[in-house]
Amino acid sequence: MTRSARFILVLSGLMVTSLAGGCDVWWCLLDLYAGGSSNLNYLQQMVGTTPVAVKRQPSYLAVSPDGRYVAVASWGGNADPNGSVSLFPTDPNDPDDPNNVTSITVGDRPYGLTWLNDLTLLVCNEGLAGTGGDATLNLIQFYRDTDDPSDPNYSLRGLGDPNKYDVSRVGSADPNYSDFLASPSEAVALPGGGGLAGIGVFVSVRFDGAVLWVSDVTGAAPTVYRILTDPADGIDEPRGIDTDSSGSNLWICNFGSGANNRTALDLVKELIAAQLNLFNGAFDDLDAAARAELEQTLSDAQQWLTDNADPDGRVPLRWPEPDEGPDGNAVDEATDLSADLRAYNTRSACPNPDPNHCAHPPEDWAQRPTAGWPADPNVDPNGIDPNVVDPNTIDPNTDDPNSLNLHDPDRRYLYASDDPNVVTISSILNRDADEQGEVTVFNTQKMEVDARIPVPPRPRSVRLTPDGALAVVTCSGNDGLTGYVVVISTGSRTVTAERALPFVPALVRIHPLGRRAYIGGWRGNQIAVLNLDTACVNPLLLGCDTTVYTTIQRPAAIDVSGDIDVLWAATFQNHQVVQLDIFEGTIRIGD
C-alpha cells in the first residue's frame, strides 16, 4: 500500500471515529501522532505480509545497510551446540532463492550481528557461562554475480549455494590474544575504519569480562587487543555496545551489574547469619524439638541453593538471563525459608550474658569486624559440602601455588580478604540486593574510561540517536518479570528519563529519524515505544511518553530498516520473523 493511500485511509477512519465516538478531530490526530490507542494498526503486522520461518530461538536481528536483507541469529536450543544465521530478502519479489531463507551454521549461541557493509556480516557467538563450545567471532562474506546495481543479478541470488558465501572464524596473528575472542556478545565498527587498514571493530566479551579492539577484522590476520577488563576497569559482563558517529566514545552496557537475584541473595544472607549464630552459641538454649526444627530449616535452605544453583554454582547468584533463575514456586519456597531463618536471626532470647553471642541478623554481621567471628564456622553459603575453610587450600585449576581460593573450586569462602578477586562471606553479606546497573563510556582517543553512569539493574542494549545527543539503554532488571528503559544525555552524561516496563526488555533500536525508540521484549508478547521528543514534558499530550503494545510472542530481536514505516521483529517463541507497521498516522515522524 502506498503512503498516500494509507494517508487517505487513516484520515477517513479518523473522521468516522470522530463522528461516531465524539472524538475531536484535532485530538485524534494528536493521539495518532503520539502513537496512542486511536491508531489500531500501529505496531501490528503489516497488511499483506506473511511470517518468515527461521531457525530455533532467534535472539538478534539486523537489517543490511542497503535494506535488502534481514539476518537473524538463532541459538538453536540448549541441546544443539551449533547456532545459525538465517538470511532472507526484505522484498518478497526478490529473485533470490524461492524459499527466501538461507540457514548458515555458526558457533555457540550467536547473539550480536553487525553488518560491516552490504556483503559482510560479523557474528558474535556468545556461548553460555560456565560451559564450553565454539564461542567466537564468525565472518560471513557474501558474493554477488555482478557489481552493477541495475543488473537483476546484483541481488544475492542463490544464497542456498555455499559457493555464494564464505564463513570464517576470526583469529589473531598473535596467539597471546586469540583466546580473548571467547564469548563475544556484540560488535560495533569504528566509523571509517579508524584510519587503519581494513575494518576495525570494538567487541564486548561478556563472560570474559572485557572489551576488545579487533583491527582489520576482514583481513587475513586480524589483531586483537584488550582495552577494558574486569574488574580493573569496572566492566561487568559487558554486552550491549554502540559508538558515536565519530567513533570517539564507546557506550557499553554492563549486563552483569545489578544482576543479583534478590530472592536467592536474601536466602543466602539469612543462611550465613543463622550458621554464624549457631556456631556462636546463640541457639544453645533451644530445646530438642526447636533445635531439630532449626536444623531442618538450615538443611532445606542449603538444599534449595543446591537445587537452584546458577551456572557457576557460586554466590552472588546470577543467571545468563534474568528469567532463567528460580521459577515462581521456587521463589515462594525461598521467601518462606528466608522468613523462617529471619525469625531465628532476630530472636530476642539470648543464652549467653555476653551480647556478642546473641543472635544477629545478616545486616549486623555485615557491620561486625570479621576478627570477632566464630573461629570454626563451617559456613558454606552455597549449601554444598560445607567444610571448614582451609586458608592453605590451593586452587587445583591452576599451577600457581599463590592462587589461594581465587576460584573457590570447593565452593568454600573466606571471611575476609584483601584480594578483590576472592569472594568472601563478608562481601556477600555487604552486597546490596538492589544493586544498580552501570553504563561505561570509554574515550577511544584518550583510551580511558570517561564516565560510569548508574542505571537500573542489568543494562542490556544501547543505541545512540542519529544526532548523537541521546543514548537509549534497556535494562532487563533482576526479577525476571519487569525492566526499564532510560534515556541518557551524551553531553551531561546524566539520565534524563527513566521508565519502568511491564516486561523484560531486550534490544533497543532508534527510528531513522531519531524521534522514537523501540524496545523489544525478551519475555512476554510486548514491544514498547518511547517518544524521545517529549518524554512526557507535557502530560497533556496523549501517549506522549512510553506506550506498550501487544505484538508477537517474545519479540526479542528487532531492527528498523530503510523503509521508515517498518520494524522487523523475530519471535523467540515461535521462530518467525514478521514486519510490524510503525506508520504513525497522518503526521509523519520528523515532520
Instruction: Identify the bridge partners of residue 547 per DSSP, sorted by sequence position.
Output: 529
Instruction: Give the residue carrying C-alpha cell 560445607.
Output: 386
Check whether the bond before 51 is cis (ω within 30° of 0): no
Q: How far is CA 337 from CA 152, 331, 341, 365, 378, in A?
A: 67, 10, 6, 19, 20
Can you give the three-state secondary structure of 500-550, one letter per residue? EECCCEEEEEECCCCCEEEEEECCCCEEEEEECCCCCCCCCCCCCCEEEEE
Q: Which one, of 590, 591, 583, lies nearest residue 2 by Cα? A: 583
Cβ burial of 74 (10 Å; 0-12, 13-18, 19+) is: buried
To which H or E segment does residue 33 belong? helix 25-33
Alpha-carbon gap, residue 440 to 402, rounded angstroms: 32
Instruction: Give the residue carrying C-alpha cell 531513522.
Output: 512
Q: Which one, of 473, 451, 475, lies nearest residue 462 by Cα? A: 473
- Spatial neighbors of 398 by CB under 8 A, at least 6 apart, are 406, 407
Instruction: Give the residue carrying C-alpha cell 500501529.
Output: 42
Q: Label the pairing between strands 223-229 and 210-215.
A: antiparallel
> What are the DSSP E strand ranges found in 244-364?
249-254
Check whether the bond before 316 is cis (ω within 30° of 0): yes
8 A C-beta contact, residue 540 and residue 32: no
Kindly report the CA angle at 185 between 180 and 190, in degrees rounded to 5?
A: 80
8 A C-beta contact, residue 75 and residue 59: yes
Alpha-carbon gap, residue 438 to 252, rounded angstroms: 9
What pLDDT score was predicted for residue 347?
94
Instruction: Give the residue carrying C-alpha cell 546495481.
Output: 149
For the chain, residues classed under CATH 2.130.10.10 are: 52-258+435-581
The reply to whether CATH 2.130.10.10 applies to domain 52-258+435-581 is yes
Q: Which one, of 452, 581, 533, lies nearest residue 1 by Cα? A: 581
* Amino acid type, 210: A
Alpha-carbon gap, residue 210 to 446, rounded angstroms: 18
- What phi, psi does 499 have (nearest 5°)? -130, 130
Q: Which one, of 548, 550, 553, lies nearest residue 522 by Cα? A: 553
pTM: predicted TM-score of the whole model, two decimal places: 0.80
8 A C-beta contact, residue 105 and residue 82: yes
- What phi, psi does 358 have (nearest 5°)? -80, 170
pLDDT tens, per residue, the chain with 591 residues = 333 334 333 333 333 333 233 333 333 344 444 444 334 457 888 888 889 988 888 999 999 998 888 999 998 765 566 789 999 888 766 655 555 688 898 888 899 999 998 889 999 999 876 554 556 889 999 887 777 877 777 776 666 677 778 888 887 655 555 556 778 999 999 876 544 456 889 999 998 889 999 888 888 778 888 899 887 788 999 999 999 988 899 999 999 998 888 888 899 999 989 988 988 889 999 999 999 999 999 989 988 888 888 876 666 678 888 888 888 899 899 999 999 999 999 999 998 888 888 999 999 999 988 877 876 544 544 443 333 333 344 344 444 433 333 334 444 567 777 766 667 788 888 887 767 999 999 999 999 999 999 999 999 999 999 999 999 999 999 888 899 999 999 999 999 989 999 999 999 999 988 888 999 999 889 999 998 876 544 444 444 578 888 888 999 999 998 778 899 999 988 889 999 988 865 444 433
Cβ burial of 414 (10 Å; 0-12, 13-18, 19+) is: buried
Q: Which residues of 96-113 are buried (b: 16+ CB within 10 A; e: fewer)?
A: bbeebbbbbebbbbbbbb
